Structure formats: C-alpha cells, structure tokens
Amino acid sequence: MTMGQKGEADVLFVHSPAAEVTFMQGEYGINRKLVMHNYFLIVGPPSDPAGIKGTTNATAAMQKIADAKSVFYSRGDNSGTDTMEKGLWKKIGITVSDNSTSNPSWYKEGGTGTGMLDLMRIASEKQAYTFTDYATYIMNLTSKVFTLDVMTQGDPALINIYHVIQVNPAKFSKVNAEGAKAFSDFMVSAETQAIIAKFGVDKYGKSVFNADAGKTEAEFGSQ
C-alpha cells in the first residue's frame, strides 16, 4: 500500500480493511471492490502452555497468552496479518508495535522479510504461538515445516477480507489505468470467482477462500 501511495503500483490486492479505508480517503485509490474472504487463526504448540485450545474468542485467547507470558511470534512487518494481530492486542489493553523496545518480553517479531510460513516454522521451533491466515496454514499443514495446532478459530473478529483497488490515475500520471482496470475486472469476474469458490476443495475438503464479488463489506461487519 505504501507503493500505491507513491504511485509505484497500478493496482493493489490487499487484506487490511482499515488501512484501505484510509488509503481511499487520501484519494490514492479508486474502485475498491470486494473479492473474497477467509479467516485468521491463532496457532500454537501441541503442548498449549497458555491453555487456549478450542477457544472461539480471539481476545480471550490472547489475554490468556499474555497472562501466561507464553512466547508469541508476530510478523512485525506492517502487513495485513500484522495489523489485524496488533489490533487484537490493543483490544485487551496491550500496546505492541513494530521494532519497539517497550513490547513485552514474551512478544517476539519475525520482522520484514519473514514470510508467514517462515514465521510458523520459527514459532514451531520455539514452541510458541502465532497468528496466521487459514490459507497458509492449511496449504502447508502436511509439509512438516511446522508442528502447530489450531488453537482459536471461528471468531467473527478473525475475518480476513480481500479487496482489489485501482491506484488513482488522476493522482499519478504514470499509472497504467487500463491494465489496472483489466486486473480488477478479472478478479471480480464470474469465471475467477468460480475458481476462488472451489480452490482447495479437492485437497482439503472445503474451499480455502469464500468468493464475495458483488457482496458488501457490511455483510461481514467490516469496513
């Protein structure tokens, strides 16, 4: 999104709704369209030192992690996943931020450049908890890169919504407006939505994502 604010991208495919709203309010983007959603998960070691396995309330689970001072690994990279996770800590009165020396000692960061799969590997090695999207978890579950169980899922607060946004050509003259529109139209087309709706069914028994083109964000209780 930073690249979009600099006019260094033509189109964005993103999953950080609050940041997207700010982006649109700054007139950096046009035609923000809902594409799909799935959910975030809190995952952790099978030993579950904080005793959160099976919980459906994300903030309650994170409160238990904090109370137990169990090690938690964050992306620490200002990604959509990182933003969502930090927002949940804020709800329970715990302030954490990227590269801050005031973060709790049990709160660790992978940092920019550490992808979600690498972070789960690190959390697994350290017997720690982390926050991940459903797609990355389920698609790598049999890879043996990590040994982490799903601890918390099903909370509506964990919804992970993806939008496509064209960068505003009126603000940045070098933007490939035609190409951006073509990509945006492609993502919400009936053919692409059908692919999204069935993606993963053959391997995992259910789709990795829910196809949402034509719906409104209000249906998910999000911006």
Per-residue pLDDT, 112: 82
pTM for the predicted model, two decimal places:
0.86
For 2-37+162-218, give the CATH class: alpha beta
pLDDT recorded at residue 221: 54
Residue spans of the domains in the chain: they are 2-37+162-218, 40-158
Which CATH number among 3.20.20.70, 1.10.8.60, 3.40.190.10, 3.10.450.50 corresponds to the domain 40-158? 3.40.190.10
Going by C-alpha positions, the residue among 34, 127, 136 that lies closest to residue 81 is: 136
Beta strands 29-44; 129-133: pairing state: antiparallel
Report the distance separating Cα 39 and Cα 135, nearest Å.
Answer: 8
What are 63-113's pLDDT values in tens digits?
A: 999 999 999 999 999 888 999 999 999 999 999 998 899 999 999 999 888
pLDDT mean across residues, the chain: 94
Cα(223)–Cα(220) distance, integer angstroms: 8
The residue among 217 and 116 whose pLDDT is bigger is: 116
Binned at pLDDT 50, 70 and 90, residue 223 comes out as very low
Fold match, 2-37+162-218 / 40-158:
yes
Closest CA to 46 of 145, 150, 131, 136: 150
Question: Which pLDDT tens digit goes with each residue over 2-17?
Answer: 999 999 999 999 998 8
